[in-house]
Structure 1
Amino acid sequence: MKRTLSIILAFMLGLTALAATTASSTALIAPCTPGGDYNPDCDLDHNGVIDILDIQLAAGHWNQVGAWTGGDSWLLTGNAGASPATNFVGTTDGQNLIVQPGAGRVGIGATNPTDGKLYVAGGGGRGVYATSASTDGVVGASGSGVGVSGISTSFYGVDGSTQSTSYAGVRGVNLSTGVNGAGVYGLSTNGPGVNGVSTSGNGVKGASTDSAGVYGVSTNGSGLYGSSNGSNGVYGQTTASLQPGVKGVNAAASGIGVRGEANAAGGVGVWGQSNANTGIYGLSTDGIGVWGQSTNGPAMRADGNAVQARAMGGWAKAMAYIRSDGLIFQCYNGVTGASSNGCGFTVNHFTAGGYGVDFGFYVWDRFVSVTATRNAVGNNMAAEFDFGAANTTIDVRTFRANQTVDTEDTRFMIIVY
């Protein structure tokens, strides 16, 4: 009786297995030889072992062991024989694919991701490579941290390239309204915070309408370093009034905000150019706005007129060569930069040997020097001055050097410092 029940039970299980095979399996494409090489077509439950369940499903083929390689399932231990052209993880109906690690991380090329929600280990190549035909390849956004962070021990942490003449390989945008925000922020403890290299264009280009286009900080190296073989190593541009295209700040004693260095003949350490305004502008409330230093050459050179605010010392504020008849022969206005058409000066030849020179600006607090030339017949001449009734005027009197009673016309030069 027990034997009869066992036969009936086995027969029923066989029918069940046959039904399961018919419903969920395809026909075997090769015989499942007992004890032969593992045949994935016989591993109907896809567990890598052909056992009693497969015997029930495959009608008596057993005793084969191997790794499952067939079917459309992605295994926890990996798949072999997949074709990148046809096999993928994703959707075909335009719906989103969600990877949700919960409190953990997603690792690509890494078995133990230690940072970020997505951790990509590139091995010997790039960790992340993204392309776009019409917009940004990679966009990183953060409410309080770093949108995109790239770290490399021997190459670039972040590398961006573009074939467009209007867009940058790497673009940084600062949307904050604060003055300390930065589109691109470079930080280094022993090297360049941002290193830009170009063979024909801008090594680094930063643009901002309200703050710093490019901002670099370093505790022991270059906060911002740019190198180019054909154009600008570092290029900064701003549309905001009274804001610099490139700004360097150093809070340390005897520190340097911006330093330019050129070691080749004819090179320029810092070059400032403007077609309508200031090429280089230096501002200091208690120190030196612009400092030039040289051991074997000019500390400062101006290929053009030099001007200075009237109330400041150092440069000449006015220079004039006055003829004996009171006409201005040569002149230079160190306040406005004018060097022709009287330079904004006028002369009142009020008596023989008496000249009132009006400079058009306040001169009573300035240093003055006057030098007379010999007269037409070769007599040595001298000159003296006094501040005129108007605070913009200096009165000059010329006379023969061997007497000081009568004044006499002669040419003279006057310089106001």
Structure 2
Amino acid sequence: MDKNIFNNVKKTFLTLGICFSTVSIAQVGVDTTTPRGALDVSSTTQGIVFPNVALVNINTQTAINPQGGAIPAGTVVYNTATSGTAPNNVAPGLYYWNGSRWVAFAGSPGGLDWSLTGNSGTTAGTNFLGTTDAQDLRLFTNNIERARILSTGTIGVNSVGSAVSQVYVQAAGTNDAVAGRNDDTVANAFWGLNLNTAGTAIIGAANGIGGYYPTTGAGVAGSAVDGYGISGMVGNGAPNNSAHNGHSAGYFSLDSDNNPSTNNASAFAQIAGKDEQVISVINGANRRILYGGYFVGGVSGNQSYSYVGLNYNHNNNANATGGTFYKVVGNGSNSTLIMDKDGEPRVLFSPEAPEILFQDFGTGKLKNGEAKIELDELLVNSIYVDQQHPIKVFIQLEGNCNGVYVTNKSEKGFTVKELSNGKSNVSFSWQIVANRADSKDNNGNITSKHVGLRFPYGPKPLQQTEISSKKIDRLKK
């Protein structure tokens, strides 16, 4: 047989064999004679380049089917365009056609998985990040679990969560568990709301004690062991810093109409505060006020008010000297309570005077018509006696004599003598009243003025601080 004819026949049979193999086995191998699938591309240095197609959006096919009609589901292209309008926009990357839209391999835009750069085109109630079975969702950083959303709906931060707290945060080291910050006159860093009539919005507890709260409900309830249940502090409290008058560390109000904007309280109190008032009848002189507590009872225009721990009417200097210290001062009567035979409290009222006075009581006895009474040294050092502020002595005889008179009066004591040079030896009771001496520091500076005060101008009621409220629907669903 001619050699050329033989080679042609050989090539024909080889071609038929390849075609028969391809049709019958339906596998294609590139750089491999043993394909492991319908298509097996073998390379250690090269990849597969998908067709580059500039998609319009996820809803438009753009790519074509060479056999005509719609492109089949599963068609893969590399999109080269940034096109379309969210949520139907596309960006460069691999996409496959699912039969009705293009789906991005990388998530967003147009993908079915969450992308590291964020997602668009999501549908609320359909797309979500989480689990569909009864498994917790755990969040990690540095391969350490940092937060957990339990399948029951509670959340734990740096913890496994708590069955009794919707959100449980376990602080690490010196970190605060939760810190809030804001810069707005209306919105707050934290706001708690309990819609139950007997509920408490915020409970704080310290030193290992459980959280105590009133059964009638509270906005804030605090408790501690060997500490403070609630602590408040306000800065800029220097006595001569008038720019910050009217401030206090604590403010409490019993509102009469459930509308705090009307300032119509039936009782309110302020703790640890300062203010300043003007006395117009004495040339507008200022009277500074520093107080530990300020308490008011009664509606506006008909109120009982009192200051506790008050430094009032002091000079305008940083040391706040020259004023007068008051334990309690107000427009009510000073009184105490005793119990009657039925166990009911009854009121006793204290005598009050227009001056700051000390008094003392004692007994003595005439000896041959004369008796010298010496006052206690502690009292002597606490009273002030001069010609304008003499000591007042009152004697009550307890026996028969010619009568007595008092002489040699001083801050140290006095002498009682019988009239007409009598020589009686009768007993008597005595009472003295004297002005209280000024209080001074170690340098002799007056820290609280007492001498010479008679009907001094006193502090008027403080102006009630204006407060406002938020609508309770801010935290409703």
Same fold (TM over 0.5): no
- Structure with the bigger percentage of strand: 2
Given the two structures, how large is their TM-score scaled by the length of structure 1?
A: 0.42
* Larger-Rg structure: 2
TM-score, structure 2 length as denominator? 0.38
